Amino acid sequence: MRIRVIVNRGGGTLKAGDEEETTARIRAAFAALGVDADVRPTASEAIAEAFAEAAAATGLDAVVAGGGDGTISCAAGQLAGTGRPLGVLPLGTLNHLARDAGIPADLDEAVALIAKGESRPIDLAEVNGRVFVNNSSVGLYPDMVRLREVQQEKIGRGKRLAMLFASLSSLRSFRRHRLWISAPGLEAPIRTPLLFVGNNRYQVNMFALGQRTRLDEGELCLYAIRARSRAHLFLAGIRGIFGRLDQQRDFLTAYVDEAEVSSDRLQLTVSADGETVRMETPLRYRIRPGALMLIAPAQR
C-alpha cells in the first residue's frame, strides 16, 4: 500500500506540539504496518495545493490528511468525485468528522485503520461551490469564529479559551439576520441569530455540536433558531441543557437536498467547517451524495 500523508503544520496538535516528533511517529507507525507512507508536513497556506497535487498523482492507493476539520474539509474538496480514498489522522482540536465516522482519536489506532485500506462512501455538502464535511452557518457562530481568531492572533489565547471569550462577546452584541430560505417544499422568511446547515442530520443541542448517526443519508439539515432576544436565546439554551428543546417552538427545521438562502445584504459572513469566508448572496447549498470515499469503519 502506497499513500501520501499531508500534515497541516498550523493545525491543532502539530501547532501546539513537536512537529518532528509527531511526523517521525507517523512514519514509524505506518512503516511498522508495511505501508509506504510519504509524510509531508505542510504550511497551512499551501495545504490546498498539496491536496490538489496528491489527488492527481499516479500510483497512490490513498491520500491521508493530518489535522483538524478545516484540513479534512480542504482534502475532501480536492478528492471529491475522484474515487481516491481519504484517510484521516485526527490531529485537530475537535475532530468532528472523525468522531462521527468512528475514526479512532488515538494516532496509532487511526494509522492501523488506514493500513487496512477499507473505505466507504460518505456525503459532502457545499455552499456556493465550497465543500464542507460537517456544517456551515450564518450569524452567531461565524461571528464567534472571527472573534476567536482575533483572540488567538492578537492575545495568544488557546483555541478553547479564545472561543469562550468570543462567545460571550457575540452574545452581548446579539443581532438577528433577515433571511429568506427557499428549498423543496419550503419558502420561509425568518429573522434569526443563527442559521445552521449540516451535512446530514445533527442532534439538536444549543451549547455543543451534536453528533450525526449517519454520513450517507443524502440530505442537508437546516436549523434556524427562532430566538428574538438574548433572553430568549438563553432560555432556549437552558432548555437544551435539560433536553427540553422543541424543534417546532425553538427552530425552523428542514431536511432537504438543496436550499437557497437570500438576504437583503449583498454579502454574508459564512462559516464552513470552522473557517469563515465572505460570500455573495444568495447562498446556494446542496448535498453531494457519496461524493467522498472515506477510510473508516463500516457504518454502525
Q: Where are the domains of the chain?
A: 2-117, 132-286
Reading phi first (left if > 0) and then psi (alpha if -120 to 50, else beta), residue 12 is in left
Look at residue 299 in the predicted model and tell me its pLDDT: 75
Architecture of domain 132-286: Sandwich (2.60)
- C-alpha dihedral sign at 177, 166, 126, 206: negative
pLDDT by residue for the chain (300 residues), tens only, comes to 999 999 999 866 665 557 788 899 999 999 999 999 999 999 999 999 999 999 999 999 999 999 999 999 999 999 999 999 999 999 988 899 999 999 999 999 999 999 999 999 999 999 999 999 999 999 876 666 655 655 556 666 665 665 555 555 556 666 788 999 999 999 989 999 889 999 999 876 554 557 899 999 999 999 898 766 555 565 655 555 445 555 666 678 899 999 999 999 999 999 999 888 999 999 999 999 999 999 999 876
Q: Is 300 helix (H, G, I), strand (E, B) or coil?
A: coil
Look at residue 274 in the predicted model and tell me its pLDDT: 83
Look at residue 103 in the predicted model and tell me its pLDDT: 97
State phi, psi for 248 to the nearest 5 degrees. -75, -40
Secondary-structure class of domain 2-117 per CATH: alpha beta
Look at residue 235 in the predicted model and tell me its pLDDT: 61
Domain 2-117 and domain 132-286, same fold? Reply is no
Find the DSSP H helices in the chain.
12-16, 19-32, 47-56, 69-79, 96-101, 107-116, 140-150, 159-172, 230-241, 247-250
Instruction: Decide: 134 and 97 in contact? Cβ < 8 Å.
Output: yes
